[in-house]
Amino acid sequence: MTVKEILSKVCDPEIPVLTIDDLGIIRDIIEQDDQVEVVITPTYSGCPAMNMIEVNIKAALQEHGYQKIKVTTILSPAWTTDWLTESGKQKLKAYGIAPPIGSVEKADLLGEQNIECPQCNSTNTEMLSQFGSTACKSLFRCKDCLEPFDYFKCH
């Protein structure tokens, strides 16, 4: 298995249906001789999952025989939900979290609009709080099926 394939099996500890590949936080993989360097970028500055992700990356690579592993964090360019993969978005929805809609520019301009309820697909929804159970989510409610749900906000 290539390093990329190994890493594509490492999951986000807080949203375990997503791999770090789905999240788009792997910025580079540098293999030199017997050393491998993985460059990642945090989703949010204070995301407590980042330390865990670093540990999990190292563990996954060690399991496949890599000894010299370095995980480097870079901040620029800053992570954006535009880097979430399509399959990542689908997995989020199936998990009950509404995936980000449209681009960050559009959300900045028009606000978060027409967020679809992951349960009944209605867009008749309203924001309860722009801050949710983790830094990357807002709290919404569906006005048709009345279910509250998390929205993975455009960032």
Partner 1 sequence: MTKLKYILQLADTALILGHRLSEWTGHGPILEQDMALTNIALDLVGQARSLYQHAAEVEGKGRTEDDLAYLRTTTDFLNPLIVEIPNGNFGDTIARQFFFDVYNHTFYTELQKSKDATLSAIAEKSLKEVKYHLRYSSDWMRRLGDGTEESHQKIQTAVDSIWMYTGELTTMNEVEKEMLSEGIGVNLESIKPIWTEKVKAVLAEATLTMPESTWMQSGGKDGKHTEHLGFILAEMQHLQRTHPGATW
The token duo for 93 is 């929805």
Residues binding partner 1: what is the number (CB under 8 A)?
23
CA distance 102 to 82: 8
Q: Does 95 bind partner 1 (CB under 8 A)?
A: no
Q: Of the candidates 2, 30, 35, 48, which one interacts with partner 1 according to CB under 8 A? A: 48
Contacting residues for 153 by C-beta, under 8 A, at least 6 apart: 81, 100, 107, 112, 130, 136, 137, 138
Q: Which residue has the tokens 């901040």?
A: 75
Q: Does 131 bind partner 1 (CB under 8 A)?
A: yes
Q: Does 128 bind partner 1 (CB under 8 A)?
A: yes
- Least gap, CB of 13 to partner 1 (angstroms): 15
Of 2-10, 40-48, 56-64, 85-93: span binding partner 1 (CB under 8 A): 40-48
Q: Does 78 bind partner 1 (CB under 8 A)?
A: yes
CA distance 126 to 124: 7
Of 24-32, 37-45, 94-102, 114-122: span binding partner 1 (CB under 8 A): 37-45
Q: Does 124 bind partner 1 (CB under 8 A)?
A: no
Q: Does 126 bind partner 1 (CB under 8 A)?
A: no
State how far Cα 72 lies from the chain centre. 18
Of 30 and 55, the one with the shorter C-beta distance to partner 1 is 55
Number of Cβ atoms within 10 Å of the Cβ of 132:
20
Q: H/E element holding 22?
A: helix 20-23
Q: Of the candidates 16, 33, 34, 46, which one interacts with partner 1 according to CB under 8 A? A: 46
**Closest alpha carbon to 18 in 48, 63, 61, 53:** 53
| Residues binding partner 1 (CB under 8 A) | 42, 44-48, 74-80, 108, 128-133, 135, 139, 155
